[in-house]
Amino acid sequence: MKTAKVAIGLDLTRKKASAWQCPNDIKRRFPSADFLSDNRVIFNIKGNHYRLVVKAAYQAGILRIEWVGTHAEYSKKTF
């Protein structure tokens, strides 16, 4: 699990440093990102072993973490 924590931590650092005004800004930086309703974004982490779900408040420049887990756990979730 230590590897996952490091990968997620590094990934969050890159995401936090970005200034995104719209979903296209995210998609340009992270082409594998997927988008759900209500401004939620799904990021693949560590070669798609983990998933990070955030809610984007584009005008405020905030990403709020809603869920982090393995790909298998994500497959069982409903958002």
The CATH number for 45's domain is 3.30.2310
Distances, alpha carbon 14 to alpha carbons 6, 10, 60, 73, in Å? 13, 7, 18, 24
**Per-residue pLDDT in tens (0 to 9) along the chain, 79 residues:** 555 554 555 555 555 546 788 999 889 888 999 999 999 999 998 888 899 999 988 888 788 889 989 989 988 987 7
For residue 34, the enclosing domain spans 2-76
**pLDDT at 11 (0 to 100):** 59
Residue 69: how many CB atoms within 10 A of its CB? 15
Q: Provide DSSP, 47-75.
A: TTTEEEEEEEETTTTEEEEEEEEEHHHHH
Structurally, the chain folds into a number of domains equal to 1
